[in-house]
Amino acid sequence: MKIWKRIRLLAQRRQFEEDLAEEMRIHREMAAAALGSDAARAFGSAAMSMEDSRAVWGFGRLDSWRQDLRYAVRGFRKTPAFALTVIGTIGLALGLNTTVFSVFNAYLLKPHAVRDPYGLYWYTWVTAKGQGHSFTWREYRDLCRQKGVFSDVMAYEKVFAGADGHGMFGQMVSGNYFTMVGTGTLLGRPLLPEDAAAPGGGAVMVLSHAAWQNKFGGDPAIVGKKIFMRGQPLEVVGVANPGFSGLEFPAEFWVPLTMHLPLIGGSDLFGPDNFGRDNPGSLLVIGRLHPGTSPDAARAALTAWSAGMTADLPKDRKAVGATLISQATQIPLTRDTVATFSPFFVAFGLVLGIACANVSNMMLARALSRQREIGIRVSLGAGRARLIRQLLTESLLLALPAAIAGFLISELTIALAQRVLYATLPPAFAKIVTMPNLAPDARVFGFILLASGAAMLIFGLMPAVQTTGSSLVQANRGDFGTDYRPARLRNTLVVLQVTVCALLLISAGVVLRGQRWVTRQNVGLDTHHVLDLRMVEKYQKRVVERLAGEPAVEAIAAAWKAPLYGATRHISVLPSGRKESIAAGYNFVSEAFFSVFRIPLVRGRIFTAGEAIGGAPVVVVSEAAARRFWPDQDAVGQTIAIEARPHRVPYYDRAPSYATAHVIGIVRDAISGVIANGPEPSYIYFPTSPRDADNDSLLVRVKEDSAAGQRALTATLDKIAPSIADQINPMDEVFAVQVYPFRVLFWLSAFLGTLALVLTASGIYGVMSYLVSQRTKEIGIRVALGADVRAVVAMVVKQSMRLAAIGTLAGVLFTLAVAPVFAHQLAAIDPYDVVAYGGGASLVLAAVLAASFYPSRRAVRIDPAVTLRCD
């Protein structure tokens, strides 16, 4: 209210002044008329009255702001290079930080575009061992009947399937999914409860906006078309809103859960089989909390319900608690998820810090070179607060364009990073990677403003406080050279910069060495010309028969898990002659697996086709396992006892149907899970065949190259039924994907490290140049007195190298301090790697040396005769 009045009046400033002057003139005339001119003289200064009146409206402060602003603009117009350097430096660092924040925002802060996203919770019950639970249809129905916790609950199952040949992530959902979530469609209609009315019915699907755009070319007539998935025709009934890409995990399509049997197979989800208590469920649930029910209250109620549901089960299957995870955002915002993100924030934040330090130093140098001006202002009576305000105005004037530059740079970076990501990812995976929506929103803008404000305070306030702190006498003399404090601040900034540089470069070195370690690993598998072919069970037998006659195919094997996809599955076995059981990596493979990957047999034999089909109680073990299980004996002919583990989901824990098995052969070691973890310490192969259930993969060795083989395979498969393969991945690319994170991390840390190095080097260069010009007189005297050229160079270089040495040492110590966090997580990463430390440290020192050498050359060229004359 008042502020508006002030602003309105400010706009009509001239009118105000005229009115006031006129009014006072009239006042005086009236007074003169009434009292005579003598009396009127007693009124005092009209200017003073005007000034007091103006002060009421706060014009004085606004005036001085405007003055500051005008003065700052004039100053920057005179030195545009300085202004541009500051804007560029801060803008670049801000832009990179904004990019990181955009990603963080997209996953952890931006709520789903649904009705009341904060009421949605993913729920499971947990056993005493902390194991979660997948629900059966019956359990889900029972949960739906529990009133008072959720106002509505939906069940879903995640699938990855090929739709018209495009591999896509999707969800099979209960009929209330879209109504419960509360999100509409861009085209057509959402799935409705009627779609999921009867088991086997509802051959319809809704596509996500992104899938519609990227996989189906944004076809405006897509609604009503039929898309084939796993041989089944599904009618597209709608395209979801662009803002909605699925809860819990990004989905590209939604299909009614009633299509479970035709699309997934196995036992009937709704059939009597699945009502038995021994059936492992497959459904996940998300509910909408009753308005007024707190998550804690819901947790308590659900714990009670789950305890009742599992009351008659053995102890290890009894539910003891409930887990509720908010589904408001793509990734729930918890302490753990924030901790995962924090290394990125720290690394990018440090770069911003370096940029600020650089600019701070530049501002400091600039302020010092204006010491005479400041001195004059002080002696004319300018207060310290007024001076600081003026210097801060200058910073603000730079921070605003820097924020704009930062925003543009972040937009560019995001676009570029997405393009680079798609270009460098192995193609089979680039096709299925989904990108979050990284468009800026209010949170991103808020972040830029906050970050640029904070940056401004750092780079503006420190020099402002420093340079205005000296005494009047000193300031008047223009004598800051003898004042020790700015030098100390400057040195601290340089040391901090070097510290951060060393930290980032050492990290880059560690990651690079890790990447080299991974690529040098002997995987023990020949992945060239091998394709991983994934489809539902019901097609596997037919496909293997068909492909066996295909001329392009050299060998084909079935496997429970294809190798190199990540975590190794473990099973507890008791080797004969030993007392305690050992957890060993394991897999179920058919006899051709070893020839497909060219894993050499060392001793004994591989299972026969008959053993594989019959699931005979025989196993092949790796060399490492043979050594570990029976150190001094021949492994062939020994037996292993397998711990019985009932009620497990075969997707995660598959157990053979027998209790003991004979070791019939030993094969060479191979890496099956994470390459960065190194070779498996022990590995067991159980026999299986394409006729068995629960095999995820068919592994095909083709005669030609993978691409041609893939085409031949697709053609053959399509003859069986349209789009039956979920995905066909060349194993070379699967391997490349394992190395990929290391490449990304390396390029990221190398990029940040280099940026930090360039910023620091240029900062040091600037500081040293400034110092040399400050000490021109001193150096001139030294040279005049006969100082050696080398001594002068050494003097300048030594000064910066001392700072660099302190900074590098601090960086090394700091890296060592955080190293334990990363130790023993991956065999490939050695956070104490001497080479990385040495390399990083020497790179930093070399850069500082180079940066201070040039200014030192300038010092050498100082002519004592000229410098001594100039004062």
Q: Applying CB under 8 A, which residues contact another protein?
A: 1-2, 5-6, 19-20, 22-24, 26-31, 34, 42-46, 48-50, 52-53, 55-57
- Least Å distance, CB 27 to another protein, is 5
Closest CA to 690 of 533, 561, 542: 542
* Residue number, 11 or 567, with CB nearest to another protein: 11
Region class of 265: left (phi > 0), else alpha (psi between -120 and 50), else beta? left
Exposed (0-12), middle (13-18) or buried (19+): which is 22, by Cβ within 10 Å?
A: exposed
Helix boundaries (H) for 619-672 = 623-629
- Least Å distance, CB 16 to another protein, is 10
Amino acid at 576: S
* Residue number, 49 or 279, with CB nearest to another protein: 49
Compute the distance between CA of residue 268 and CA of residue 795 in angstroms, rounded to an integer.
84
Compute the distance between CA of residue 498 and CA of residue 711 in angstroms, rounded to an integer.
54
* Phi (first) and psi of residue 555, to 5 degrees: -150, 155
* Residue number, 44 or 786, with CB nearest to another protein: 44
Closest CA to 103 of 381, 428, 470, 437: 437
- Least Å distance, CB 61 to another protein, is 14
* Residue number, 10 or 860, with CB nearest to another protein: 10
**Contact between 728 and 713 (Cβ < 8 Å):** yes
* Residue number, 7 or 433, with CB nearest to another protein: 7
Compute the distance between CA of residue 404 and CA of residue 440 in angstroms, rounded to an integer.
13
- Least Å distance, CB 386 to another protein, is 23
* Residue number, 23 or 194, with CB nearest to another protein: 23
Compute the distance between CA of residue 833 and CA of residue 514 in angstroms, rounded to an integer.
10
- Least Å distance, CB 762 to another protein, is 51
- Least Å distance, CB 5 to another protein, is 6
**Contact between 367 and 486 (Cβ < 8 Å):** no
**Contact between 386 and 64 (Cβ < 8 Å):** yes
Task: Dig out the tokens for 839 from the structure.
Answer: 């390399």
How far CA 586 is from CA of 578, 581, 671, in Å, comes to 19, 14, 12
- Least Å distance, CB 12 to another protein, is 13
* Residue number, 5 or 66, with CB nearest to another protein: 5
- Least Å distance, CB 383 to another protein, is 22
DSSP class of 253: E
* Residue number, 59 or 135, with CB nearest to another protein: 59
- Least Å distance, CB 23 to another protein, is 5
* Residue number, 47 or 442, with CB nearest to another protein: 47
Report strand pairing: 166-173 vs 253-256.
parallel
- Least Å distance, CB 8 to another protein, is 11
* Residue number, 55 or 416, with CB nearest to another protein: 55
Closest CA to 619 of 602, 604, 631, 607: 607
Give every CB contact of residue 554 below 8 A, 6+ residues apart in sequence. Answer: 529, 701, 702, 703
How far CA 82 is from CA of 86, 367, 593, 802, in Å, comes to 6, 12, 66, 28
**Contact between 624 and 681 (Cβ < 8 Å):** yes
Exposed (0-12), middle (13-18) or buried (19+): which is 847, by Cβ within 10 Å?
A: buried
* Residue number, 49 or 595, with CB nearest to another protein: 49
Compute the distance between CA of residue 259 and CA of residue 16 in angstroms, rounded to an integer.
78
- Least Å distance, CB 463 to another protein, is 37
* Residue number, 5 or 485, with CB nearest to another protein: 5
- Least Å distance, CB 381 to another protein, is 21
Closest CA to 396 of 452, 466, 351: 452
**Contact between 222 and 207 (Cβ < 8 Å):** yes
* Residue number, 41 or 516, with CB nearest to another protein: 41
Q: CA angle, 462 as apex, 457 and 463 as ends, to 5°? A: 115
Report strand pairing: 150-163 vs 284-289.
antiparallel
Compute the distance between CA of residue 651 and CA of residue 693 in angstroms, rounded to an integer.
10
**Contact between 759 and 354 (Cβ < 8 Å):** yes
- Least Å distance, CB 11 to another protein, is 15
Total number of residues shown for the chain = 871
Three-state SS at 561: coil
CB atoms < 10 A from the CB of 55, how many?
11
- Least Å distance, CB 33 to another protein, is 9
Closest CA to 239 of 250, 224, 260: 224
Closest CA to 445 of 734, 105, 123: 105
* Residue number, 53 or 714, with CB nearest to another protein: 53
- Least Å distance, CB 498 to another protein, is 54
* Residue number, 31 or 331, with CB nearest to another protein: 31
- Least Å distance, CB 35 to another protein, is 10
* Residue number, 53 or 476, with CB nearest to another protein: 53
CB atoms < 10 A from the CB of 39, how many?
11
* Residue number, 40 or 325, with CB nearest to another protein: 40
Compute the distance between CA of residue 73 and CA of residue 395 in angstroms, rounded to an integer.
11
* Residue number, 50 or 103, with CB nearest to another protein: 50
> What are residue 532's DSSP bridge partners?
699, 729
- Least Å distance, CB 68 to another protein, is 24
- Least Å distance, CB 389 to another protein, is 24
Give every CB contact of residue 543 below 8 A, 6+ residues apart in sequence. Answer: 533, 535, 690, 698, 717, 720, 724
Give every CB contact of residue 300 below 8 A, 6+ residues apart in sequence. Answer: none
